[in-house]
């Protein structure tokens, strides 16, 4: 059975979001990025934002709440870095 265009878009959103989060995590565990660096936080916010959209589209409410909170935490951390001028480049993750 062929997937509808809406279903295909929903799947693409899910995979792009998942790859963004997993790539950020992989790079962090390999000491390429640190959890307080802007790129890491952007990748986490972007990926969880996309997964939140996907959760909404498929009516997965618990997953939606998880992704909204995760995205908000990453966005708040990014804003905090920018507000206080912290670069986060040399900070190790906890």
| Least trusted range by pLDDT, from 3-12, 28-37, 54-63 | 3-12
Those residues whose C-beta lies under 8 Å from the C-beta of residue 7, and which sit 6 or more positions away, are none
* Domain-wise residue ranges, the chain: 28-84
Quote the pTM value: 0.83
The pLDDT of residue 90 is above 90: no
pLDDT band with cut points at 50, 70 and 90 for residue 94: very low
Do residues 51 and 18 lie in contact, with contact meaning Cβ atoms separated by under 8 Å?
Answer: yes
Cβ atoms < 10 Å from Cβ of 79 = 11
User: CB neighbours (10 Å) of residue 60?
Assistant: 15
């Amino acid at each position: 059975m062929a997937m509808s265009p809406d279903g295909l878009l929903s799947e693409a959103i899910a995979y792009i979001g998942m790859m963004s989060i997993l790539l950020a995590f992989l790079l962090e565990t390999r000491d390429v990025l640190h959890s307080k660096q802007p790129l890491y936080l952007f990748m986490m916010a972007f990926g969880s934002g996309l997964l939140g959209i996907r959760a909404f589209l498929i009516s997965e409410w618990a997953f939606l709440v998880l992704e909204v909170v995760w995205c908000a935490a990453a966005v708040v951390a990014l804003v905090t870095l920018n507000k206080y001028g912290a670069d986060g480049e040399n900070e190790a993750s906890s």
